[in-house]
Amino acid sequence: MSDLTNRTAAELADDLASGEVTSREVVDAYLARIAAVDGVDADGDVWPAKPAAALRSDEPHAYLAVTAAAARAHADDVDARRAAGAPLGPLAGVPVAVKDILTTRGVATTCGSRMLEGWLPPYDATVTRQLAAADLVVLGKTNMDEFAMGSSTESSAFGPTRNPWDLDRVPGGSSGGSAAAVAARLAPLAIGTDTGGSIRQPAAFTGLVGAKPTYGTVSRYGLVAFASSLDQAGPFARTVEDAARLHTVIAGHDPRDSTSVDAPLPDLTARLEDGVDGMRLGVIRELAGDGVDAGVGAVLREALERLAGLGAEIVDVSLPHAGYALPAYYLIAPSEASSNLARFDGVRYGNRVDAASAEEMNAATREAGFGAEVKRRIMIGTHALSSGYYDAYYLQASKVRTLIAADFRTAFDDVDALISPTAPSVAFRLGENVDDPLAMYLNDVATVPASLAGIPAISVPAGVADDGAGGRLPVGVQVMAPLLGDDVMYRVARALEAATAFDPTPRGARAVAVGEVTR
Amino acid sequence: MTSQALLDDGWELVVGLEVHVELQTNTKMWCGCSTVFGDEPNTNVCEVCTGQPGALPVANEQAVRDAILLGLALQGRIAERCRFHRKNYFYPDLAKNYQISQYDTPLVTDGELVVEVTGDDGGVERRRVGIERLHMEEDTGKSLHVGDTGRLHGADRSLIDYNRCGIPLLEVVSHPDIRDPETAQAYLRELQAVVVATGVSDARMEEGSIRCDANVSVRRVGEELGTRTEIKNLNSVRSLGRAVRYEAQRQLAVIQDGGVIRMETRHWDESRGVTEVLRVKESVTDYRYFPDPDLVEVLSPPQRVEEIARRLPELPAATRARLTGLGVPREQAAVLVANAAVPVFDEAVAAGAEATAAANWLAGDVVGQLAAEDLSLAASGLTGAHLAELTRLIDDGTLSNTLAKEALAGVIASRGASSPAAVAAERGLEQVSDVGELQRIVDDVVAANPDTVAAIRSGNDKAIGALVGQVMKATKGQADPRKTNELLRTAIHG
């Protein structure tokens, strides 16, 4: 049954529907693999899946919590309903992993932070409810940078996640646990969240498809806020089709999220195979040149050639304000974070460090509960919102954001979709950037423009590049589409995927073995 | 008038009021929790109003409509688009450690309230107080400090009730247009009356559903505004007047002693009649306001505002004018308006009651009894039909004034289940106006008091009162006084 973990979600869905396998068999196969590869006793405590002292350098550490008993019970229930002929959703019975930033009622939700150790949310996030309603079976909660602040998953308070392609390298972040889970075949699908690239960059680093939907099309209710105006949940999968199908499950209007779009959303799979013949695709000049590693640049050029070969017209496009996107992002996101994270004060939930007064208790709790990167961003954000600095920082950044959104609108007057590298490099080594926040932030240079504009963007594996030590690591290409053009985004991504001979199997001395791959 | 007496010649008091009104919506500002007052602590709470991670606010449509309605009643301009900001500060009863409020785009600007005060000559003077803004925000929870002092400082531990957290609040900020304590009080009373008339809140100071802070300063007439202090803990209209008066005189004394007024928040001590420093605002607190990214703009296009304007009730000033036009004394008209008794009054008049009689009963006995029982008029069950019936029973001689009061009390005790006639019948309150029985008692009294009868016959008409009293005594007060008088005179004079 081990080949079950190498099937795509679409294949599993077919096999479940035809009765070839049961959901319970699929879930058991994944739990067995989680035990073998992530070293988690699937019948043990739900949280922590792996105490810090037990972490090993030959395990990816994708999961913070494995909800084995609940997963088995849910799978049995789906199987029973299927046997009884009850109507089921298209992905019913397929397992999924969920980033530990989405609330799960009664199941630990830590956001990778000591601050929320022991907190059991009293309610389910809307995304959690949508997954349950569609009968996807949640295997557990995945590791992440603390409060989604990071690009490597090294800022998790519970230890880093490692890249299944090379366990000495980072999986990207902040949704590194979700990416590692799918890449290491510890889940066929996973939910991540993307604020400035936190789905797309880890997808690129781990050879996966990862999409950030149009802002407002996936509910943020129960997504523990980092930067409210940017946060958006989205899918990780090994194929474009799987990503589109998972995306379809979580998209839709939610009256509990005021920023939720109340408009018809496009069908993401109907025109998936229509190709790019006759489409105009723009390459963003500002994001494709300086600062991009040679190997990444080569993969991008080859991808563009393949798209042109499929009949797309490739044009050069300028986003004049793209160069200001990174600084604007690193003012807006920390500003919102400084306010969003104020509620972690030890009064109502999570960790508390007792002290003589409420003020001292607040301070001591926050001192002990937050890691260095979170504190750094709270400081930056607090400063940017301060009287006397607000106009120069937060307000100015907001204006830049408006200009970038206008740049994109202008560009989309001329082209159907935009193309860039997802990240400037392949996955870097653990520890390589931890002492250099700016180098870490530069990872987001190509992903933050779409975040600021709210438009949909996806990373598709487009090839591999040298890791500089004789190995090969995956490279992702980013496809961006206009607001609510998520269907166009998937269509272009699928065309690129179909034209790319990408080998999705991690190989190399430090890679996680995944066995025979069916696709 | 009193302002001259309050401060030395050449000095002037300047007051601006900040009034918070708790809206009486069914649910809180950002979630579906109940807003009922006085429930067990932390029973009307959810993930939104306790600030659980991931929870999001959704603006209460009813609260927005109520805010627009009150803004219109205060003659304000309604912003076509406005947004919510976050006011960031740490306090344990503020669940998110930021308050969702409004900052540079309040929902309402440029309103006004015209209030009436008694002038120097005893006549009515009308004064206009400008309203700078009215904005929407949310209430905080309540902290209970367990320890000797009952205040945060020195407490052993603190308990927090989040039931109030997230209840919709409107903050109404006046311009510093007020120059004497009487106008400050009149403004607060009038604002209360407008709030009650629009139905957006019961505006009960004792329950905190309307709260008032006063910004007070003094200056030489014609000079720039002086440094102000903010007075908190004003629990009644009376406290407001006393506190403003005290603070004005304190400030002037400090200045005349060569001191300077510091910008500070002061606490009104009702029992000692003084204000005391609560905290010094050495630097202005930096609340780091920024637009709340969880909420979208509130849009109030003209057609929406017009639609809400159609719900505007008759405002207190117009109501008082109408009532005085019906012959109701000005003071009583004010009492009816302030106690939300006008609908019952109108109903009573429509049901045939004399306006003056209906007003007299409502402004006197009814308001008095409700206050004694801490009951609202609506909760009392008393209707205009009851009141009309009551006045009819008095007019046709069935009830004396004294018995009518008892009947009224009975109606209220039954919460409106029994009518005045039903109460009177049940308790045997009807006056003895059966002429046959009354005649027999009158004849007995006349026969038993020959001396008094002789005095009356010889011209001492006042002595008849003593005989009326005896009849009343014999009937246990249930004789119709008019009829008794009539029968006595006939019996004595023939």
Q: Are residues B422 and B441 in the same domain?
A: no
What CA–CA distance (Å, rounded) separates A339 from B290? 9
The contacts of residue B205 (CB under 8 Å, 6+ apart) are B192, B211, B212, B235, B236, B237
Which of A335, A343, A359 shows the shortest C-beta gap to B290? A335
- Does one domain contain both B213 and B265? yes
Q: Given A121, A122, A342, which is nearest B88 (Cβ)?
A: A342
* Torsion angle of the four alpha carbons A111, A113, A115, A118, in this order, in degrees rounded to the nearest 10: 70
- Whether B53 and chain A come into contact, CB under 8 Å, resolves to yes
Q: Is A99 a catalytic residue?
A: yes
A119 with B286: Cβ contact below 8 A: no
Closest chain B residue to A226, measured at CA:
B54
Note the CATH number of domain A4-257+276-319+406-500: 3.90.1300.10
Which of A23, A151, A152, A174 is an active site residue?
Answer: A174
The more confident residue out of B438 and A335 is A335
For B107, which DSSP code? Answer: S
pLDDT interval class at B487 (50, 70, 90): confident
- pLDDT by residue (tens digit) across B253-287? 999 999 999 999 999 999 999 999 987 765 567 99
**B203-228: average pLDDT:** 93
Q: Which residue from B47, B58, B95 is facing A258, i.e. has the nearest CB?
A: B58
- Which of A119, A258, A347 is the closest to B57 by Cβ? A258
**B218, B284: one domain:** yes
What Cα–Cα distance (Å) separates residue B152 from each residue in A358, B91, B93, B149?
9, 11, 12, 8
Q: Is the pLDDT of residue A80 over 50?
A: yes
List the structure tokens of B1.
């008038």
pLDDT in tens, A164-214: 999 999 999 999 999 999 999 999 999 999 999 999 999 999 999 999 999
Structural domain boundaries in chain A:
4-257+276-319+406-500
The per-residue pLDDT for B150 is 58
Give the pLDDT score at B485.
85
Q: What is the pLDDT of residue A503?
A: 87
Does residue B4 sit at the A interface (CB-CB below 8 Å)?
no
Over range B153-171, report the average pLDDT: 88
Q: Which residues are bridge partners to B234 per DSSP?
A: B212
Per the CB < 8 A criterion, the answer to whether B282 and B262 are in contact is no
What's the pLDDT score for residue A1? 41
pLDDT at B461 (0 to 100): 85
Residue A123 with chain B: CB contacts under 8 Å? 47, 52, 55
Pairwise CA distance, residues A96 & A74, whole Å: 12
CATH number for B467: 1.10.10.410
User: What pLDDT, on the 0 to 100 scale, is given for residue A519?
Assistant: 43
Q: Are residues B339 and B472 in the same domain?
A: no
Pairing outcome for strands B229-234 and B264-269: parallel
- Domain of B350? 317-427
Q: What is the CA radius of gyration of chain A?
A: 21
Number of H helices, E strands in chain B: 18, 16
Q: Which of A50, A99, A141, A212 is catalytic?
A: A99
Per-residue model confidence (pLDDT) at position A479: 98
Residues B127 and B256 in one domain: yes
Instruction: Please choose, from the candidates A206, A284, A212, A182, the residue with its C-alpha nearest in 3D space to the C-alpha of residue A464.
Output: A206
pTM: 0.89
If asked whether residues B48 and B148 sit together in one domain, one would say yes
Q: Does the structure show a pLDDT above 90 at A247? A: yes
Structural domain includes residue B327? yes
The catalytic residue among A113, A156, A198, A451 is: A198
Distance of CA B397 to CAs B403, B431, B479, B484, B488, Å?
A: 11, 7, 9, 11, 17
Task: Let me know if residue B312 belongs to a domain.
Answer: no
Residues of A in contact with B86 (CB under 8 A): 339
Tell me if B410 is assigned to some domain. Answer: yes
| Average pLDDT of every residue of chain A | 95
Q: Do A348 and B53 count as a contact with CB atoms less than 8 A apart? A: no
On whether residue B385 sits in a domain, the answer given is: yes
Identify whether residues B466 and B399 lie together within a single domain.
no
The mean-pLDDT minimum among A394-403, B95-104, B325-334 falls in B325-334
Tokens of B25: 């919506």
Q: What is d(CA B338, CA B334) in angstroms, rounded to the nearest whole number?
A: 6
Mean pLDDT calculated for residue range A45-64: 90
pLDDT score for B472: 83
Q: Say if residue B361 is in the same domain as residue B464.
A: no
Tell me whether B345 touches chain A (CB under 8 Å): no
In angstroms, the CA A301 to CA B104 distance is: 49
- Identify all chain B residues contacting A103, using CB atoms and an 8 Å cutoff: 52-54
**One domain for residues B193 and B72:** yes
3-state SS class at B484: helix
Could you tell me if B47 lies within 8 Å of chain A, comparing CB atoms? yes
What integer is the mean pLDDT of A456-472? Answer: 91
- Contact (CB<8Å) B55/A258: no
pLDDT tens, A106-155?
A: 999 999 999 999 999 999 999 999 999 999 999 999 999 999 999 999 99
pLDDT for A518: 47
Spatial separation of the C-alpha atoms in residues B139 and B20, rounded to whole Å:
9
Q: Which residue of B has its CA nearest to A393?
A: B290
- Provide the greatest CA pair distance for chain B: 95
Q: Are residues B478 and B411 in the same domain?
A: no
Residues B229 and B378 in one domain: no
The DSSP annotation for B286-323 comes to: ----EE-TTSPPEE--HHHHHHHHTT----HHHHHHHH
Question: What are the pLDDT digits (tens) for A335-363?
Answer: 999 999 999 999 999 999 999 888 999 99
Percent of chain A predicted with pLDDT > 90 = 89
Structure tokens at B236: 């009644």
- Average the pLDDT over each of A42-46, A58-62, A137-141, B160-164 and give the range with the smallest value: A42-46
The least confident of B24-33, B131-140, B159-168, B283-292 is B283-292
Average pLDDT of the residues of chain B: 91
Residues B273 and B347 in one domain: no
Number of domains in chain B: 3
